[in-house]
Structure 1
């Protein structure tokens, strides 16, 4: 390596990191930067350059311990030492990589890594995560996507800047236009120490096979292939943005329940290409991994054949642990297998199935992503309304004499199935929650609500109201009353 090459590489790296920092400073000049730090040469260069440009106090090195290599503990120790030598705060998280059948180790490790990085960013209050991918990585990604028959979203490969759904930190790739060789020159010039992951030489992994066996041959016959593939990614990203803009227009018309469902008729009024584009976009907004073209085409075919008036039981589409459902003109995804009937009890299996109220006026139950509010009611003004025989309005029906709440401990429990409630007069026939939810057109994903019990007696069901059977022996008095209100988290200020 010549001194000229080293100095040129250093300049290019520093300029790239400086440009990324300037873009961040334009938004927040005091913002801290998280660097995803594996300890390899690429992330070592990025962290070293970040310290030189931004200063050690603004950087945090984040390491993910996958446990896949026998050297993982040594790599963790090396990374911590490297960061401490530069005065950089260091944090690490251990993850378990899924070995489930049909899931590649590469994909599982990547997903676990990004979940851990996002979690650490959130814990440190950092909203910018720098990643060390470079032009060679981008070229390999485009080739892999081409060989897999990916669409435009896949060919767009890695964006220079991207905020994933459900993440708080924007992912930034300052080195994306630089070559691997330029990073190697920088590392050698600054005498950096880095680790070599032995798995990078294993050509059983598709990316490694491309890196060691395909791209060297391309470099001989097509020296500018990296730039060409990078341009392909840029063109694909531009075209995908146009498709996404069209999908947002269609989503605005078809979206129901804040995007968790689509209107069946609106979706199927679109031609196949446009409907498939909407389905892809919708699934990305839900955080799903991309589905194959064949699976999406089959889903659209089945939806067209099923019709909006059916209960969707004939749909046999499963993806990413979810089953496609159709219910009263809505299309949505539900956790589970399409061969099983739609879940009519709680949609999420909970580790905690019962919580006990401690008398809070505002009782947050995070397991159900919501809050109970116990609002005191003017007893003199509402004495007539709280009569157990008054069902003239929902607010009256949700108002309960304080003495009822004091009969026994009040608890929130998960649905088990088969629960019954009286919503008319106390002596009226009881109804199952399942029937009441169906009658009111409440889709399955909204039925995952906590049930309030006083002792062992069902007292209140969100979206339905108070069990009037509980009030059967309550005398008419002017005693204090409480109105129970259920609010989903998204409805809280």
Structure 2
């Protein structure tokens, strides 16, 4: 390799970064997603040369998927230190359920981006730079073609994208070839690590990289530029479809956050526009794209539910699972719910008893949550006197059927099933522990305190009160 080609590679890389830098304030902090591989190593080195070490922070995500992951972390920390760049790392674990639902590669990618966003917030970064290049883009377009993806998939990776939450993600090297990055690395003695999994052709991307791309290069030398243009055209067409989806979804989105859609108005659209709305909606929620077959099946089931006379029968009939989420339909609204566990037969939970002595949290592992007894005043509708909590054992029980809740206003009792329906609680959210004081139902999650069952509350002498809450455990995939 001659000095001229080396200097050309340096100029091309630094010019690409200069274009991005010209769009940023002079004092903005730049985060570099730094895995230690060739691409990110070149990006980090060039960012230091173009922007200065003081503006850069190198962020490393330790997945623990490789036995060499600890060594990679040490390499990255040492390299950043040698460049005078601030360094941070975060360890993540890919949950088995997430890997099973979305695949190891997709689950690891989601965990990586979440960790990077967290570290960007910690360091006040205004821009996150990613090191994908033209070869990566060509591979992505080919993969999406082979998977039968739509325009959103063929649009592949955008040079820059601002997610709804988080810092803008920028790919300064997207127009550059890997060979040009190798030339830069050689010219500047950039050291990098090799991920042994990149040689495993059981992964579709690796199979393309090692077996297909070399053959394409031999017969179609300019195929990378051609596929890049395909991605640009697909992105342009997708923007038009998104604009149409925004028009169609405006009168359909329900709720304050727009995370659910009205069932009947959605089905008033023809199949193509309804599917376009569903795909757009899923992207706004951060869900990965689903196959055409799955989307068509979801729309078929939604139309079938609409044809049934019983809304409740429809609520139970819908079954669309995707990437760890489940599509639900309840009371005229459709929404996605995170799947927490498989629906295997479960043994009955035995009652759990607590002699309350001022505890603020009562953890119930069997229900994966906790009752919280927070300090409150007597005017809180979900507050009870502390004396009531101590006068009989507190018992957590699962529903057995037929439980009744007294209505204070009407002086009558109603079945808990009817109360749940009145409060709009879907069937799948009713598996909650019921809190009893002795043998009397005291509190129902999602509903509140069974206040009328204790008529002497209002006459309770002055003292301390506690607000009862039910809090589910937080699960991190």
The partner residue of 1:212 within 210, 213, 218 is 210
Alignment of 1:197 with 2:180, yes or no, is: no
Quote the residue 1:329 is aligned against: 332
Moved more, 93-102 or 174-183: 93-102
Report matched runs for 1:35-434 at 5 Å.
35-97=32-94, 100-101=99-100, 104-165=103-164, 167-257=165-255, 258-307=257-306, 309-311=310-312, 312=314, 313-336=316-339, 351-357=368-374, 359=375, 374=376, 398=381, 404=385, 407-408=388-389, 416-417=398-399, 420-425=404-409, 428-432=412-416, 434=417
Mapped to 2, the partners of 1:415 and 1:322 lie a distance apart of 28
* TM-score, normalised via structure 1 length: 0.78
When residues 451 and 90 of structure 1 are mapped into structure 2, their CA distance, relative to the original with a 3 A threshold, is farther
When residues 104 and 468 of structure 1 are mapped into structure 2, their CA distance, relative to the original with a 3 A threshold, is closer
Q: CA RMSD in A?
A: 3.7
Q: Cα distance, 1:477 vs. partner?
A: 9.5
Q: Secondary structure at the match of 1:23?
A: coil
Whether the aligned pair in 2 keeps the contact of 1:409 and 1:455 (CA below 8 Å) is no
> Cα deviations across residues 297-351 of structure 1 (Å, max 9, x unaligned)?
111112112217522222232222333322222222334489899xxxxxx9864
Q: Cα distance, 1:148 vs. partner?
A: 1.1
Unaligned stretches of 5+ in structure 1? Answer: 342-347, 360-373, 378-394, 489-493
Mapped to 1, the partners of 2:465 and 2:232 lie a distance apart of 60
When residues 376 and 119 of structure 1 are mapped into structure 2, their CA distance, relative to the original with a 3 A threshold, is same
Q: Cα distance, 1:146 vs. partner?
A: 0.8
Whether the aligned pair in 2 keeps the contact of 1:399 and 1:482 (CA below 8 Å) is no
When residues 70 and 255 of structure 1 are mapped into structure 2, their CA distance, relative to the original with a 3 A threshold, is same
Q: Cα distance, 1:93 vs. partner?
A: 2.1
Alignment of 1:15 with 2:15, yes or no, is: yes
Quote the residue 1:380 is aligned against: none
Whether the aligned pair in 2 keeps the contact of 1:353 and 1:414 (CA below 8 Å) is no
Mapped to 1, the partners of 2:434 and 2:84 lie a distance apart of 52
Quote the residue 1:362 is aligned against: none
When residues 87 and 417 of structure 1 are mapped into structure 2, their CA distance, relative to the original with a 3 A threshold, is farther
Q: Secondary structure at the match of 1:323?
A: strand
Mapped to 1, the partners of 2:289 and 2:397 lie a distance apart of 32
When residues 325 and 11 of structure 1 are mapped into structure 2, their CA distance, relative to the original with a 3 A threshold, is same
Mapped to 1, the partners of 2:428 and 2:28 lie a distance apart of 38
Q: Cα distance, 1:102 vs. partner?
A: 7.1
Q: Secondary structure at the match of 1:429?
A: strand
Quote the residue 1:437 is aligned against: 420
Mapped to 1, the partners of 2:430 and 2:168 lie a distance apart of 34
Q: Cα distance, 1:130 vs. partner?
A: 0.8
Q: Secondary structure at the match of 2:112?
A: helix
Q: Cα distance, 1:85 vs. partner?
A: 0.3
Q: Secondary structure at the match of 1:246?
A: helix
Q: Cα distance, 1:232 vs. partner?
A: 0.8
Q: Secondary structure at the match of 1:326?
A: strand
When residues 237 and 428 of structure 1 are mapped into structure 2, their CA distance, relative to the original with a 3 A threshold, is same
Q: Secondary structure at the match of 1:240?
A: helix
Whether the aligned pair in 1 keeps the contact of 2:32 and 2:57 (CA below 8 Å) is yes
Whether the aligned pair in 2 keeps the contact of 1:414 and 1:449 (CA below 8 Å) is no
Aligned length in residues: 441
* TM-score, normalised via structure 2 length: 0.80
> Cα deviations across residues 381-437 of structure 1 (Å, max 9, x unaligned)?
xxxxxxxxxxxxxx9xx397x8x3554479x999954665323259532541x4223
> Cα deviations across residues 260-281 of structure 1 (Å, max 9, x unaligned)?
3211110100000000111111
> Cα deviations across residues 54-94 of structure 1 (Å, max 9, x unaligned)?
22122111112223333222221111110000111112222
Mapped to 2, the partners of 1:413 and 1:177 lie a distance apart of 64
When residues 431 and 105 of structure 1 are mapped into structure 2, their CA distance, relative to the original with a 3 A threshold, is closer
Q: Secondary structure at the match of 1:253?
A: coil
Q: Cα distance, 1:188 vs. partner?
A: 0.9
Q: Cα distance, 1:191 vs. partner?
A: 1.0
Whether the aligned pair in 1 keeps the contact of 2:80 and 2:87 (CA below 8 Å) is yes
Whether the aligned pair in 2 keeps the contact of 1:408 and 1:454 (CA below 8 Å) is yes
